[in-house]
Structure formats: C-alpha cells, structure tokens
C-alpha cells in the first residue's frame, strides 16, 4: 500500500482543470506570472513561506542571486517526490507513454505499480542496496520508465547510458566499470553489444526489458515476483542530501571519464526550479510531448521521465531520432512541446518542413551549447514564430538558467538564474570577481542542495571549491537582472593574434556566416597552427541541398562573403570547409573531431 503522503492541492479554474488561467492575472515584470504558476503547481500547503530573494542592488559582494522564489528544502526521496508529493492530482488511468506507430501505452497506475514491484524484486534477487548502481542501456520502450523508476524506488543509483549509433562494446564496458554497476538492464535490440560489455566489465548480471532468445531474466518476470511494499524511503533533509539517485557521465568528456553524482535533494530542488519555468499556456489535460532522443540522456530525467509524470502529460516515444525525415510525428500526435538539441536545430533550421502541420507546437526548448541568435530565430520561424526557449544547464548542476518571461528573453540571453541558483563571474587570468556585464568564467552554486561532484575523480573535483562553487567552464557575463549570457566554452574560445593573443568567440563568427543564403548550418572551431602557435578560426558548413554539386565554387563565394563581414582578429584564417554532416558526442556537436578532419579536407 502507498504510505500516506499529502498530494499537491491543485486548483480548479474555468481555463482548465489544475491550472489557474494565468493570462487573466495581473503580472508585473513577468516574474509574478511565474510565481503564480509555481504556486499553482506546488499547492498552497507547500508554498515557500519566506519572501523571494531579490537583488535590491545590482550586486551583493559580486554575487548574483536568482530573482525567482526559493523552493523548499527537500526532505524526501526522488520516487516519493515524483509520484506523490510533487505530482499533480490527475486520474491514475492517465496515459503517460505511448509508442509511435503502435498501440502500446503505459498509464500512471501501471507505472507506479510495476515500478514498486520491480524495486522489491531487484532488492530480493540481486541484493540491490541504497547507492548501489543499476545501469540502463536500452532503446525507448514502454518498459524503460518502469526499470528507471523501479531502480530509484529500490534506493539504487541509476546510471543511464544513452543509445548512440557509434557506441561500441568497450565504450559501454568503460561506463559500467567506472560507475561500478551491480546490475545491467538492456533490451533485445542491444543484447549482443550488452553481453560483450558485461563480460569486459567483469560479468555484470544482465536483465532485459523484453523477451529475448537467451535465458536472461526479463522485467515482466521481476514485476510478477515482487510486491508493492515500499522498500526505500527518505524522510529527512540529511537523508535526501546524503543519498545519491543518479550517476551520469558528462556528455563532453573523453579519456579519463567524469561521472557526476546527483543526490535526491539536488534532483528534487532542480525539479522544483523547473516547475517555475513551464510556459503559462501549458495545459496538462490536453498537451502531448515527444521524446526526440534517447531516454538515456540525462536531461530526460528532468523532462520526459520526470516532469511529464508530475504533470500527467503523455510522452510519445519514437523509434528514430527527431529530424527533418521524422518531423511528421508532430502532426500525427498533435505534439505541443519539442526539446531541440543543437544538432537537431542545425538540421531543422533550413529543412523544408512546409508540408508538415506543426501548428500544435507551442513550446520549443534547447540546451547543450551556445546558440547564436540567427539560428535561434530561423528555427523559431520554422514553427510559426514560436519562441525557441534557451536554457543553461550542465551535467554537474542540472538546470541553472532559463528564459521564463519577457525580461529574460533578451537577445543572446540563456535566461535568468532559476530558483535557488547563485552565480559569480571571475577573470580567467587573475581570478578576480567581476561586475555585471564584465566577461569571464561563470561559477555557480545551489543554495538549496549541494552539488555532489564526480565519482572517484580527485583531479576533476577541483572544479568544485570548499564554498560550494562549481567552475562551469562557460565564458560569459550576467546583467543586473541575473540574466545569463553564454558567449562560448572557455576551452572553445580561440586565442588569435600576436603576443599573448586575444580571445575570439566561435559563436559570434557562426552568426555572421549563417547569414549567407546557401548555408544550412555552420560550426566554427579554432584549429591550432603549431608553427605560429595560434588558433586559426576555421568554418565547417553544411550547404543547402541545391548547392552541394558545385561545392568548390560555393565555398569560394562563402569565403568572399566572410572576408567582407569579418575583419581583424575575427577573420577566417583557417578557411571554410564543406561537410555533409557534423560528428556528434551525445547530443552535442563534436568539435574535436572536426579539427581532426582538417588535414583530410585540405588534401
């Protein structure tokens, strides 16, 4: 039986059940709308009693605070929060997942019941204990969410491994070893790869989401043998902070991998902050979302295996990644929300999707890398002018900033600091703390729940200091309203010119080249000239299909265009190259691989 827990008291309104009609409320400066929306979601009994923290002067000791209300300090576990304490009071027979092209569905009641039974079964059969690691590598199936939340309900740390076409057995094995996985969950599609990876990692027990020709135990078998009794619960602030719920490899790491630990408290505080960023026209009773990429990407713990459960919004699971060839899924299911990664944005920006009805879309969101304003606007125009919302997040910190109102949707801004996040900017050479509008490395900390850092990586953990600050590696600045402007990654800033050199942003150059009418997408990197010991700005463009046959002539035209627009240190001294597509790591463009391609492209 479910232990007694008080649910959110959602309010009825004439607009739609569960949400106050925010469009008729008086909202000043935009923040009032977000506060009201957040209160509706949290319910009056859980609303934070203290006044929101506001910067009364531009800076307080060089620190920037969120202007959004502080969430309550978490004192429970992630499963209890998502399924009970944080959940909107919607019918339990609400469908939460459906598979595109099939009649397969999963309701809240089924997910809750099967997750709890699965949790009990893996505790019994595999002796899974709190903070043991359960790794999951599987395609997007109905059963994925059951295994995911079942492992959390057992008290385990979930290590999601995203499905990527270029991933090898050794890649998977390295993740299993680094995470010290005690159980490995996979499916029939990836079983052969997973079996080899398990052997390489020291023979980790395998469990499959669906039936296979082999004799591995299946999720259905475990669900049948388990009971619905709760086997793991956290009930204090200290417990929520001490127990970890996720271990996730950072998407950009290579070589000595970095695996980030996320506590129950950190995850819950992030979800509380995320609630306040939902557009005011969200209607959980009619909205439909789609998961455009593998559920194994960590951002889905927030979006498509988290927020949708809290709100009661169905998520459509696709068999392929969202791109210009599969975008018709929007019309079939009347999709209202799309998360668009930078590679997806690059493909959709100049694709011809005029024959697809995308009128149902009312929320677009992107994250993963800085995006120049020209690309953002082009994607927005593809979807009838719906604003492409930017957010700033890292694997280490989860959500940090997001565009939540008109005052945070300024050109170039990644939004305002979300609930509970504090930031400061330091000079990259001297470490001196900087003022508003002064550029440097941005540091952040969570005043509600501490960042837990990396597992078994003393060197990488130097990015976290004794005061809770995390060095993000992002170069930019904040304004007086705590809006964040990410100009580039520090390691991707190009150092050009004589002497000590000067930093030049790749994003700024990309924005200029994107104006050329034949350019479908563009990425600029600094290719090191070992003789001169300087970075040479080098552009890689994907041409529109009609211009791909006369590549040499087209590239010369682009180079002439660049010469007329880019002067001084911003000149493309490394040249322009045409590529059919970009190499990716996770859902980010792999700039390192682009640099390696230069010798071959020159030849």
| Cα distance between residue 208 and residue 191, in whole Å | 8
The residue among 72, 29, 165 whose CA lies nearest residue 419 is 72
Q: Are 559 and 577 in contact (CB under 8 A)?
A: no
Which pLDDT band, with edges at 50, 70 and 90, does 532 fall under? low
Which pLDDT band, with edges at 50, 70 and 90, does 164 fall under? confident
Higher pLDDT, 344 or 130: 130
For residue 20, how many C-alpha atoms fall within 13 Å in the half-sphere facing its CB?
Answer: 19
**72-78 mean pLDDT:** 96
Q: What percent of the chain has pLDDT over 70?
A: 86
| Cα distance between residue 435 and residue 439, in whole Å | 9
CA dist 96 → 99, 225, 353 (Å):
11, 24, 28
**399-405 mean pLDDT:** 90
Taking only the tens place, the pLDDT of each residue in 86-102 is: 999 999 999 999 999 99
- Give the pLDDT confidence score for residue 26 in this predicted structure: 27
| Cα distance between residue 553 and residue 548, in whole Å | 10
Beta strands in 513-589 (DSSP E): 519-529, 534-543, 575-578, 584-585, 588-589
**30-54 mean pLDDT:** 35
DSSP-based helix, strand, coil % in the chain, nearest 5: 30, 25, 45
In degrees to the nearest 10, what's the CA dihedral of 53, 58, 59, 64? Answer: 50
Q: What is the mean pLDDT of the chain?
A: 85
Residue 174 has pLDDT above 80, yes or no: yes
Which pLDDT band, with edges at 50, 70 and 90, does 531 fall under? low
| Cα distance between residue 519 and residue 306, in whole Å | 37
The DSSP call for residue 601 is: H
- Give the pLDDT confidence score for residue 31 in this predicted structure: 34
**32-36, 215-219, 510-514, 521-525 — which is least confidently predicted?**
32-36
**Most confident listed range (275-284, 307-316, 365-374):** 307-316
The residue among 295, 246, 310 whose CA lies nearest residue 81 is 310
CATH of domain 493-602: 3.30.300.30
- Give the pLDDT confidence score for residue 167 in this predicted structure: 82
Residue 524 has pLDDT above 90, yes or no: yes
The DSSP call for residue 114 is: H
Taking only the tens place, the pLDDT of each residue in 255-302 is: 456 889 999 999 999 999 888 888 999 999 999 999 998 999 999 999
Main-chain dihedrals φ then ψ at residue 181, nearest 5 degrees: -65, 140
- Give the pLDDT confidence score for residue 497 in this predicted structure: 63
Q: In this structure, what token pair is assigned to residue 90?
A: 């919607």
The residue among 35, 154, 50, 65 whose CA lies nearest residue 446 is 65
Residue 110 has pLDDT above 80, yes or no: yes
The residue among 135, 249, 276 whose CA lies nearest residue 198 is 135
Higher pLDDT, 58 or 578: 578
| Cα distance between residue 306 and residue 232, in whole Å | 19
**515-530 mean pLDDT:** 89
- Give the pLDDT confidence score for residue 362 in this predicted structure: 96
Residue 339: helix, strand or coil by DSSP?
Answer: strand
Main-chain dihedrals φ then ψ at residue 278, nearest 5 degrees: -70, 135
CA dist 335 → 64, 305, 307, 317, 366 (Å):
36, 17, 16, 12, 16
CA 296, 301, 372: angle at the middle one, nearest 5? Answer: 85
Q: Are 332 and 100 in contact (CB under 8 A)?
A: yes
Any bridge partners for residue 208, and if so which?
186, 218
The residues spanned by each domain of the chain are 493-602
Higher pLDDT, 35 or 561: 561
CA 72, 94, 359: angle at the middle one, nearest 5? Answer: 90
**333-360 mean pLDDT:** 91
Q: Are 94 and 108 in contact (CB under 8 A)?
A: yes
**120-134, 219-233, 571-585 — which is least confidently predicted?**
571-585
Residue 292 CB neighbour total at 10 angstroms: 24
């Amino acid at each position: 039986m479910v232990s007694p827990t008080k649910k959110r008291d959602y309010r009825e309104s004439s607009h739609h059940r569960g949400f106050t009609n925010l469009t008729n409320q008086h909202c000043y400066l935009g923040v009032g709308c977000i506060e009201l929306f957040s209160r509706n979601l949290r319910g009056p009994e859980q609303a934070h009693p203290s006044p929101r923290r506001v910067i009364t002067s531009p800076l307080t000791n060089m620190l920037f605070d969120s202007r959004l209300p502080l969430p309550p300090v978490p004192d429970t576990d992630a499963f209890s929060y998502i399924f009970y304490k944080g959940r909107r009071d919607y019918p339990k027979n609400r469908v939460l997942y459906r598979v595109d092209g099939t009649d397969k569905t999963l309701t809240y009641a089924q997910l809750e019941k099967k997750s709890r039974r699965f949790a009990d079964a893996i505790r019994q059969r595999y002796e899974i204990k709190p903070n043991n690691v359960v790794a999951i590598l599987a395609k997007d199936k109905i059963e994925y969410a059951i295994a995911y939340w079942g492992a959390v309900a057992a008290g385990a740390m979930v290590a999601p491994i995203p499905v990527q076409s270029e991933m090898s057995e050794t890649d998977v094995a390295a993740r299993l070893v680094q995470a010290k996985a005690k159980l490995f969950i996979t499916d029939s599609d990836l079983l052969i790869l997973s079996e080899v990876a398990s052997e390489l990692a020291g023979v980790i027990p395998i469990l499959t989401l669906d039936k296979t020709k082999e004799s591995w135990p299946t999720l259905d078998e475990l669900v049948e043998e388990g009971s619905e009794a709760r086997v793991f619960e956290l009930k204090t602030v200290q417990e929520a902070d001490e127990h970890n719920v996720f271990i996730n490899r950072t998407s950009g790491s290579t070589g000595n991998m970095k695996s980030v630990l996320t506590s129950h408290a950190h995850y819950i505080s992030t979800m509380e902050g995320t609630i306040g960023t939902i557009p005011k026209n969200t209607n959980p009773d009619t909205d439909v979302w789609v998961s455009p990429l593998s559920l194994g990407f960590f951002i889905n713990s927030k979006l498509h295996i988290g927020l949708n459960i809290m709100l009661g919004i169905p998520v459509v699971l696709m068999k392929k990644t969202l791109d210009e060839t599969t975008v018709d899924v929007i019309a079939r299911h009347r999709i209202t929300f799309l998360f668009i990664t930078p590679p997806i944005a690059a493909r959709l920006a100049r694709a011809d999707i005029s024959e697809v009805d995308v009128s149902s879309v009312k929320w677009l969101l992107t994250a993963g890398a800085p995006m120049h304003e020209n690309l953002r606007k082009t994607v927005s125009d593809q979807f009838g002018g719906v604003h492409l919302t930017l957010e700033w997040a890292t694997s280490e910190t989860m959500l940090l900033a997001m565009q939540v109102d008109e005052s945070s949707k300024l050109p170039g801004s990644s939004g305002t600091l979300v609930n509970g996040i504090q930031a400061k900017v330091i000079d990259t050479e001297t470490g001196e703390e900087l003022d508003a509008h002064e550029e440097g490395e941005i540091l952040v900390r969570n005043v509600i729940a501490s960042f837990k850092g990396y597992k078994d990586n003393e060197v990488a953990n130097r990015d976290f200091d004794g005061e809770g600050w995390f060095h993000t590696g992002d170069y930019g600045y904040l304004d007086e309203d705590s809006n964040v402007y990410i100009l580039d990654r520090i390691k991707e800033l190009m150092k050009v010119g004589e002497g000590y050199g000067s930093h030049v942003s790749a994003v700024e150059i990309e924005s200029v080249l994107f104006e050329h009418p034949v350019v479908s997408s563009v990425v600029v990197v600094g290719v090191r000239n070992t003789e001169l010991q300087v970075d040479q700005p080098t552009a890689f463009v994907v041409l529109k299909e009609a211009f791909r046959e006369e590549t040499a002539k087209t590239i010369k035209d682009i180079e002439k265009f660049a010469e007329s627009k880019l002067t001084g240190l911003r000149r493309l001294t490394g040249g322009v190259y045409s590529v059919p597509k970009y190499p990716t790591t996770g859902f980010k463009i792999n700039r390192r691989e682009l640099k390696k391609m230069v010798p071959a492209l020159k030849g």
